[in-house]
Each structure stands twice: as C-alpha cells, then as structure tokens.
Amino acid sequence: MGRLFGTDGVRGVANADLTAEMALGLSVAAAHVLAEAGTFKGHRPVAVVGRDPRASGEFLEAAVVAGLASAGVDVLRVGVLPTPAVAYLTGALGADLGVMLSASHNPMPDNGIKFFARGGHKLADELEDRIEQVYREHASGEPWDRPTGAGVGRVKEYDEGFDKYVAHLVGVLPNRLDGLKVVIDGAHGAAARVSPEAFARAGAEVVTIATEPDGVNINDGCGSTHLDGLRAAVVEHGADLGVAHDGDADRCLAVDAAGEEVDGDQILSVLALGMKETGALRKNTVVATVMSNLGFKLAMEREGIELVRTAVGDRYVLEEMKRGGYSLGGEQSGHVIVLDHATTGDGTLTGLMLAARVAATGRPLAELAGVMERLPQVLINVPDVDRSRVGSSARVVTAVSEAERELGETGRVLLRPSGTEPLVRVMVEAADLEQARAVAERLADEVKSALG
C-alpha cells in the first residue's frame, strides 16, 4: 500500500480516493499524534480549518471539523481562504494545528488535505508518517479513545480571518500601488475575494477575471495554468500588469503590459534585485530548484547574487531557506516564498510585491523582468525505462558529458528520474531552441536505448 502523504499533503479524487471517512479518520489521528508529541500539553488544543471553493470541500470540511472536535480539539472555521492564509492564521492566532482542504491547481474532481503545525509551518515528515500509521491502525478496527461531556471540542466560525489576512498582506508591502492598473485572475479559487481586496487596499486600480467560484469552475480554463484569458484582459484594459493564481493561491504567475508571460524565475529575479537594494535579501542569496532556467542563474551571477539550488518541489526550497537562513526562494511554476512574511508560498503576497516593485521604480514590468533572458528549454519525458539506473549507466553518463561539452557555458543538461512514474525527464537548455531540441532528442534516444 502506497504512502498516503505526498509532497503536499494527501490528494486524490474526492469521494473516491479521498472520502469523508478518510478525512475524519486522518483528522482524529492528527489530533492524537500531536497530543502524543506534547503539542497540546497544558492547554485546550485549537485548530484552524479552511478550504478552497470546490464543492467537495464542503463535505470534507465537515468531516475534518467533526474528527477534530470528536478528539477534543476546538475548531475555528475560517471558510474559503488561500492555503497561505490558513498557514498565516494558524501562526497569528496561536493555534496548535492548521488544516487546509484543497488540491491546488488540480482539476475540480480532486481534493486534498494539508496539515500545518503550530506557527503555520509544514508538518514534519515523521509526524505525517505517524499520523498515517495511527490512521491505518484505527481504520482496521481499533477503537479510538474519545473524550465525552465538556471534553469534546467546540466549533466556531472565525469570520475575521479574511480581514486579518488581507491587513497582514497590505501591511508588509514596502510601498503602495497607487497609479497602477492590475488585472487579477483568481482561477475561480481561494483567492477570488482576497487578492482583489488586497490589491485595492494597497492602492491599485483592479480589474478581475475568474473571480466568481461556484464550486465547479475552479482552475477551469483560467488561473496560473491557463494564462490566455489574463493576457487578453491585460491588453484590452491597458493594464500595467496581470497576476494569475492557482486554485489555492499558493502560487502566482504574471503577464506584462503587452500580455507576455513573466514566469516564476523572472518574478524571483525582480524580487531578488528589489530586496537586495533594500537590504532585505538575507545573505545576498536566493534559493531555487534545479529546474530553474539557466538564464536565471546567469542573471543572478551578473547582479552579484548567490544562487542555491535544491531538488524540485517547494518543500525542498523551504527546507533550504530555513537551514541557511535565507529570505527568498521559489520555483519556475510561481511558488515564491518570502520567509520574512510567510511560512509557505503565497501567490497574493508575491503578486503584491511584484506590483510594488513596478510602482517603486516607475519602470514597466517587461523592463524589470528583462534582467534575465529566459533561455530555450526543452523537456522530454522518456517512459517505460528503469529510472533507478539513470545515474549508473555508463552509456547515459557518457552521452550527458558529450552534450554538456557541446553546449558549453550557455547550455545545461538535467536528467531526472520521476518520483512517481517509470520514466526519466530529460531537460536541455541552450542559447538556441533548435540546438536544445536536437540535444534533448538525442539524449532521450540514448536513455531509451540504455535503460529500456
């Protein structure tokens, strides 16, 4: 049986893979494990529970709340808010646990459960493993030890969460956004109310698209994975920039005034330079994954900023940031973490800080993003191969060395085994797209031949 917890909580098709019974059981297990770990010692435990607008979130939230309350945990229901809002409120309210129901950028039928520890930080892997172990033990029939009488948890609506979070976002901005026109694509998701409100309070003129969630339309042809609507709206309204979120608003991509995409690497570049200028870029370092574009690395070198690379996944970026004491990190996909103001990727905060940089400098976003040249990048997935041998095959190692020699300083090769499927990802960057494609195809053929 596979591990329930992935890199971002428990996910699956709601009411098929992820059922109400599972949501309830995992919540009770989490309460027991945290009590066992001493998290609740000496006080009555409190949890913050939020969700994105998916229809399935309604019954899954009810199951989570029931599970926590039945285990003696008081629950503050914050309703539909972004994942980073739940993380923030967990810390700001001194709660012992945060729970978010969302499947992020996944399609509507999916949903997920993500737990946050006290302070709004990701639950440690060993605690997730223990929660899963305890859940499985009780799912097979072992009865729970349950409180009765006044020992059961109480459930309250915490309607102030929206205002508290928006005030936090606006309060940490280095400058206002007066004079900017911004289009916001809310992905019909958790940021549909939050992001427009935050930008408006910060002084921007706001135009919105995909900000009318109905429980079914989340991520449907909109948001950070479908930028065409945002591009068109920015051009149509003559806006200075556009910001697109995903379903739970932990990421942000942007488009400039001409409707051209500004990806996570470019956003990191703009923020890194701004933070360096104001002394907020701790240790003069930015953290990114091995998939960040070579153009980003070259730009940071040119600007005198150190770059630390991690494995793919925002959790690895966050771990490295905490370990090294860094203040900025992120991924090409738009997960950007500003650790002084957030404990996780926050798409609304990222968009606000990007817009604040445009306002502060008086320069167009296209010009600011032009600090890095995005080199052509070709990615080929090679299926049905033995991914475990990608680093030990002499043929593959030789082919990679030859490709790296051919590309020189203006190119890069990355072979990465998939963490979930029997395939190897071949990524090649080069100054010229045709060269990148030719080298990638040659390497993919070699991987198929050597490891197939």
Task: Say if 308 falls within a structural domain.
Answer: yes
104: containing domain: 10-159
Task: Say if 5 falls within a structural domain.
Answer: no
The whole-number average pLDDT for the span 223-242 is 97
Q: What's the CATH number where 282 sits?
A: 3.40.120.10
Task: Write the pLDDT tens digit of every residue in 50-84.
Answer: 999 999 999 999 999 999 999 999 999 999 999 99
Task: Say if 390 falls within a structural domain.
Answer: yes
Strand 328-330 with 285-289, pairing: parallel
**Residue 12 corresponds to which tokens in the numbers above?**
């699956």
Residue 1 has pLDDT above 60, yes or no: no
Chosen domain end from 112, 130, 159: 159
Residue 17 CB neighbours (<10 A)? 15
Q: What's the CATH number where 394 sits?
A: 3.30.310.50
Exposure pattern of 134-162 as b/e (b: 16+ CB <10 Å)?
bbeeeeeeeeeeeeeeeeebebeebeebb
Q: List, in order, residues 6 or more apart from 220 with CB less than 8 Å away.
A: 107, 108, 188
Residues 42 and 117 in one domain: yes
Task: Say if 3 falls within a structural domain.
Answer: no
Lowest mean pLDDT segment, chosen from 188-197, 271-280, 290-299: 290-299
Residues 265 and 399 in one domain: no
Task: Say if 202 falls within a structural domain.
Answer: yes
Strand 328-330 with 261-262, pairing: unpaired
The answer to whether 246 is a known ligand-binding residue is: yes
Q: What is the rounded distance in angstroms from the CA atom of residue 313 to the CA atom of residue 44?
A: 35
The answer to whether 250 is a known ligand-binding residue is: yes
Task: Say if 222 falls within a structural domain.
Answer: yes
Residues 150 and 257 in one domain: no
Residues 291 and 352 in one domain: yes
Task: Say if 249 falls within a structural domain.
Answer: yes
The answer to whether 129 is a known ligand-binding residue is: no
Q: At 234, which amino acid appears?
A: V
Residues 116 and 178 in one domain: no
Chosen domain end from 340, 369, 398: 369
Distances (CA, A) of 324 to 63, 215, 264, 308, 314: 39, 40, 21, 10, 15
Exposure pattern of 66-93 as b/e (b: 16+ CB <10 Å)?
bbbbbbbbbbbbbbbbbbbbbbbbbbbb
The answer to whether 386 is a known ligand-binding residue is: no
Residues 445 and 386 in one domain: yes
Active site residues: 104
Residues 329 and 381 in one domain: no
Total domains present in the chain: 3
Task: Write the pLDDT tens digit of every residue in 353-402.
Answer: 999 999 999 999 999 999 999 899 899 999 988 888 888 888 889 999 99
Chosen domain end from 310, 341, 369: 369
